[in-house]
Structure 1
Amino acid sequence: MGQIKLYANGGSRNHGCEAILRSTKKILDKDICVYSTAQNEDLENKINEIMEIKENKNDNLKKGSLNYYISAINIKLFKSTLKYTEYTKKTFLEDVKKGDLYLSVGGDNYCYTGLDELGNLNALINKRGAKTVLWGCSVEPDIIKDEKVKKDLNTYSLIVARETLTYNALKESEINKSVLCPDPAFQLDKIDLPLPKGFEENNTVGINVSPLIIDCESKKGRTMENYEGLIKHIIDTTNMQIALIPHVIWDNNDDRKPLRVLYNKFKDTGRVVMLEDHNCMELKGYISRCRFFIGARTHATIAAYSTCVPTLVIGYSVKAKGIAKDIFGTYENYVLPVQSLSNKDDLINSFEWMKDNEDDIRNHLNKFMPEYKEKALQGKVEIEKLLEG
């Protein structure tokens, strides 16, 4: 039986990536190795305590070398980056053993353009006799229309789609090695730390915003204008506290930057608290003690859903809509696409709808979530089939 190896991991300062690693280990309950492009981040968050971490670095392609020219010719004449990936990922690929099972764990990597390296690695791993799995993923339906991407997806031994919009799009495109299974992070454990001053349990609105959604807005400044308006509205019309909760702290994509702008604007009210960085289980512990959660990061909202906190997602892609639809039967009112923020009070209106329907939403989550979370464990069955096959 081969070894389970995880790759396409972005690093644990994105606590969604960390959540996928931790919950995948919990679900599969086997020895696992992760190839990390940000080993320092995974060590910071103690991933080494649950699995082996191997560095996934790019090898130097020396200018003027034979491999350099072969790579350049393939790119220029055949528009193929396969040789480039083969040479720059030489160390990673030398570790591939026949019978190994490689899980691509970047859940939304196929929601964006620039998929050449993922496709190349998929092909090169298979060529060396190992199997590949696209694990806990969302795939933007329009991307599947690209024949090159479709061929790539068909090369995986298994695709585990985390929501039905992706699953149905794959089936319609005749990519038949697909199964439907909730995101592994629905199985993530939580840790309850002492609450900071100003965080009132079960009467605090958790708020998460990311630079990523700001980049996707249709009108410059509209996202932060909506968040500022919402916080002012909560302070003026309710007795609820507000907790600003970052979930990704990468230097070039740090939730704390927009959240600090909001905190500085409202800190003197005594109604707003800003959380600093914590691991994904500790963040889930804070989120679970909110009364409502309004979030941009997928795994921050999964932490809320899975602990039955009424949640509004400020989304930008298929993953937000698909997960909400599977939980509630519709994504209308549960997902507010950032691209649709046209008026300054759009977020206030969505929050008011959620507040008006608070009891119904919470009751639904309490009834629905136990069985839904249990389904996330089915991924283990599919993985064991591949290991035995």
Structure 2
Amino acid sequence: MNLDNSFNAMVTGINGHSMTIGILGAPINNGNMGCLALTYSLLAMLEEIANDLGTVFTYYNFEGVGDPTKTHILCRNLGIEEERVKSFNIYPVESFLGLCHRPHKVFGTFSALKECDLFIDLTQGDSFADIYGDSVFNKNANGKLLVEKVLKKPLILGPQTYGPYQNKKNKEKAKRAIDKAALVIARDEASMQYVKYFTDKEVYTTTDLAFILPYKSGGLNRSTTVEHATTSEHFNIAVGVNVSGLLSKNKLETTPTEFHLKTDYDAYIEALLSWLINADYNVSIIPHVVADYEYGRLIAEKFPRVKLVEMYQNPMDIKSKISEFDIFIGARMHATIGAFSSGVATIPTAYSRKFNGLYESVEYPYIVDLLNSSTEENLEMTKMYIKDYVKLKVAAEKSMEHINLLERQTISLLKEQIVKC
């Protein structure tokens, strides 16, 4: 499992030894571009730290069975040698039962876990909570506790949302994992305050890693030139709408949910698209998860004037596509982050407090609250934001100045912890 001698020779390491970093909750082989955006951003950040330290990191990603094609795409885009990125299946191990009763099936993974010098866990950004059900929570929490209590290795909880924990036992398990962590970083103030309610652990607040996801600007954004458009000019304004297969009544995404929207999401989307089309905006549907594409295909059949963009294979390409729009309306948080950080006027349609907490932390108030506001209220608010989209673009650009400082803080915190190892 060790790298070959020729490759090891180029790894100078820190304090004279090479470093292997275990990655949890940041997949490479996933159809959710938001999860992939976090992985790409984390590895880009770690590569910057490695260059600064004059070393080379090896990455063991404990996400499941690796897909060489997707690993190749990631490494090509980030300029990482493929032999430095390996995937292992942690799930039989983190269950503990698998560890006790099927040791022959988990030996390889367990050996790889022991080789890691430290671990960084992102929990897919928002899955260290029980809003997606107890099974998802336990799978993620058990992996953390395995690293901390069984392997006794340093675990960094990278920028993410913490909670909510509706089940008391889940909150107790989360507390154990947080208390044992070497470093805890929240991606918003609300998460930091939430953790303070049940643990004394010091929590640093920065922001979501995906704000720094690299991309290639298409140079087609026209928000600075079309400020007060008449209806006849609206077709010059490109609007991207990210529809969510998670929120549709058809439940095209199988992820379990423990939240209830006050907004009728399907009715909201159809009314919004009807208004945009009647006002002659140039509208495209942008999927960010495979289920979004399926839902978008159904929507496009009802609205022939709406263009359905094909599903992209990596987050850098989809962010590059999103950067071409003037306005972006999205229910996938990382799709909105891609728009926001590429200079597009962004309208997040929030289904959980992860949206509100994140955007409040960067002083961006232009959010549509699907949880707590009615369909009619949200439709009117969205129309108002669309009409004032230049103001939203300016606000996003101002917020990005603060976000860039927060991202540098994340790099500093990670680097400090890595050097300690």
Taking structure 2 as the reference length, the TM-score comes to 0.75
Residue 191 of structure 1 aligns with an amino acid whose one-letter code is: K
Structure 1 residue ranges without an equivalent (≥5):
62-79
The residue that corresponds to 1:123 in the other structure is 145
Residue identity (%): 22
Change in Cα spacing, 1:32 to 1:42, as seen in structure 2 (3 Å) is farther
Question: Residue 329 and residue 207 in structure 1: after superposition, are their counterparts in 2 closer, same or farther (change >3 A)?
Answer: closer
Alignment of structure 1 residues 1-389 onto 2, 5 Å: 1=14, 2-10=19-27, 11-29=29-47, 30=50, 31-33=57-59, 34-37=61-64, 39-40=66-67, 43=70, 46-49=73-76, 50=80, 52-57=84-89, 82-84=96-98, 87=102, 89-97=106-114, 100-105=117-122, 106-112=124-130, 113-114=134-135, 115-126=137-148, 127-143=150-166, 146-192=171-217, 203-214=237-248, 215=251, 218=260, 222-237=264-279, 239-249=280-290, 254-267=291-304, 269=305, 272-278=306-312, 279-328=314-363, 330=365, 333-337=366-370, 339-340=371-372, 342-343=374-375, 345-389=376-420
Q: Is the 8 A contact 2:235 2:281 kept in 1?
A: no
Verify the 8 A CA contact 1:3 1:99 in the aligned structure 2: yes
Deviation of the 1:294 alpha carbon = 0.9
Could you list the per-position Cα deviations for residues 289-310 of structure 1 after superposition, in whole angstroms to 9, with x for gaps in the alignment?
2121111111101011112322
Give the secondary structure class of the aligned counterpart of 1:213: coil
CA deviation string 1:298-327 (max 9, x = no partner) = 110101111232222222222111112112
Show the counterpart of 1:70.
none
Match of 1:117, SS state, is helix
Deviations, residues 180-234 of structure 1 (Å, cap 9, x unaligned): 1111111011124698xxxx99711111112212356847993122111111101
Secondary structure at 1:246 match in 2: coil
Q: Which residue type is aligned with residue 371 of structure 1?
A: H
Structure 1: distance between partners of 2:205 and 2:261: 35
How many residues end up aligned between the 2 structures?
355
Query: CA shift at 1:375, angstroms?
Result: 1.7
Worse overlay, 93-102 or 272-281: 93-102
Shift, 1:377, TM fit:
2.7
- How far has the Cα of 1:13 moved from its partner? 2.0
Query: Structure 1 residues 99 and 277, CA, compared in 2 at 3 Å: closer, same or farther?
Result: closer
Deviates more, 1:34-43 or 1:121-130: 34-43
Q: Is the 8 A contact 1:308 1:366 kept in 2?
A: yes
Seen in structure 2, the aligned counterparts of structure 1 residues 91 and 38 have a Cα distance that, compared at 3 Å, is: closer
> By how many angstroms is 1:28 displaced?
2.0
Higher RCO by CA contacts (8 Å cutoff, separation 6 or greater)? 1
- Shift of residue 158 of structure 1? 1.3
Cα distance in 2 between the residues matched to 1:144 and 1:160: 23
Report if the CA contact (8 A) 1:182-1:375 is conserved: yes
How far 1:373 moved relative to its partner?
2.5
Q: Deviation at 1:247? A: 0.8
Contact 1:99 1:129 in 2 (8 A): no
Q: In the alignment, what sits opposite 1:73?
A: none
**CA–CA separation in structure 1 for the residues paired with 2:87 and 2:162:** 27
User: Shift of residue 130 of structure 1?
Assistant: 1.8
Q: Structure 2 vs 1, CA of residues 37 and 99 (structure 1 numbering), >3 Å: closer, same or farther?
A: closer
Q: In structure 1, what is the equivalent of residue 54 of structure 2? A: none
- Report the 3-state secondary structure (helix = DSSP H, G, I; strand = E; otherwise coil) of the residue aligned with 1:232: helix
- The question of whether the paired residues in 2 share the 8 Å contact of 1:164 and 1:322 is answered with yes
Q: What's 2:10 paired with?
A: none
- Aligned-residue Cα RMSD (Å) equals 3.0
Partners of 2:303 and 2:296 lie apart in 1 by: 11
Instruction: In structure 2, give the amino acid aligned to 1:46.
Output: I
Counterparts of 1:181 and 1:235 in 2: how far apart (Å)? 39
